[in-house]
């Protein structure tokens, strides 16, 4: 018999005996007492009373989250409640003239806020159910799925700079080719917001600027954990170091009369 299950609202693992079947924020299933209480409170409060400050601090990085969860990912030290906002192809201008579309798989039944994508990056297993493929190309059964990149990115967690470099390069190349790129996880906030911010760093923003931009222009719930903030700080260092190496190689080619092209504006 299962001793613990996830609350369908906050997705936190709780003892089975404390969970109750309820409908909270349109989701019906086993819910923890805190989410039930919070849902009832939201229903009784006036809208102006709901406009409270987000849980993040003004300082960087956010110290309210613990990035030590089984060595991977992060776990809120406060009671996390899933945001009420919905994102289905929400347009986000990651850099001047560069727009991507951000989605939470839980919101696919909502009306799309942008055009249908022609390529996608998906960061949660909810996007690839029923699909089969092999990394040697011998098996590909994606149905009607658009050209997609699937990333094993833990909820509230982070990935390596190597993985992030692969993903951001894939997105940049698709955007350059004129594709409408969708990025999605489950809620459309933590992993999706972090990748959107990482793309901002790739296009020249600092980590702090990229997070501030995605929270202001997309959703203030974007980038949900200290682990994700720390990833962006490390990603900025990685991008800067990579650019320094490229600049050095370009200078060597120029001094030696090699065939290196001139460097232009844009992502590294």
Query: pLDDT (tens digit, 9 = 90+) per residue, 102-147?
Result: 999 988 888 999 999 999 999 998 887 667 777 776 766 666 678 8
Q: What is the pLDDT of residue 69?
A: 35
Q: How far apart are CA 199 and CA 196, in angstroms?
A: 5
Give the chain's domains with CATH numbers: 4-76 (no CATH), 90-241 (3.90.190.10)
Q: How far apart are CA 190 and CA 27, in angstroms?
A: 20
Q: What is the pLDDT of residue 54?
A: 37
Give the CA count within 13 Å in the CB-facing half-sphere of 113: 18
For the chain, list residues with pLDDT below 70.
1-2, 10-11, 25-26, 38, 41-83, 129-130, 137, 139-144, 250-266, 268
Q: What is the pLDDT of residue 60?
A: 38
Query: pLDDT (tens digit, 9 = 90+) per residue, 71-98?
Result: 333 444 344 556 678 899 999 999 999 9
Query: 15 - beta bridge partners?
Result: 4
Q: What is the pLDDT of residue 76?
A: 43
Q: How far apart are CA 185 and CA 102, in angstroms?
A: 9
Burial of 35 (0-12, 13-18, 19+ CB in 10 A): buried
Q: What is the pLDDT of residue 146?
A: 85
């Amino acid at each position: 018999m299962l001793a613990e299950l996830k609350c369908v609202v906050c997705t936190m693992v709780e003892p089975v005996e404390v969970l109750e079947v309820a409908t909270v924020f349109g989701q019906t299933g086993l819910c923890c007492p805190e989410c039930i209480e919070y849902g009832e409170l939201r229903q009784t409060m006036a809208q102006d009373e709901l406009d409270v400050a987000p849980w993040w601090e003004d300082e960087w990085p956010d110290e309210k989250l613990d990035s030590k969860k089984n060595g991977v990912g992060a776990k809120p030290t406060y009671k996390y409640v899933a945001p009420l906002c919905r994102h289905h192809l929400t347009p986000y201008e990651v850099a001047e003239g560069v727009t991507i579309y951000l989605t939470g798989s839980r919101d696919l039944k909502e009306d799309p806020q942008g055009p249908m994508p022609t390529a996608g990056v998906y960061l949660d297993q909810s996007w690839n159910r029923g699909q089969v493929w092999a990394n040697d190309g011998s098996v590909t059964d994606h149905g009607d799925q658009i050209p997609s990149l699937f990333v094993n990115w833990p909820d509230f967690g982070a990935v390596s700079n190597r993985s992030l470099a692969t993903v951001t390069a894939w997105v940049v190349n698709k955007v350059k080719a004129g594709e409408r790129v969708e990025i999605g996880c489950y809620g459309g906030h933590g992993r999706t917001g972090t990748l959107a911010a990482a793309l901002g760093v790739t296009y020249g923003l600092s980590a702090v600027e990229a997070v501030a931009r995605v929270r202001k222009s997309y959703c203030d719930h974007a980038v949900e954990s200290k682990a994700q903030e720390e990833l962006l700080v490390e990603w900025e260092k990685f991008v800067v170091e990579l650019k320094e190496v490229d600049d050095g190689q370009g200078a060597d080619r120029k001094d030696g009369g090699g065939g290196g092209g001139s460097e232009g504006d844009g992502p590294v």
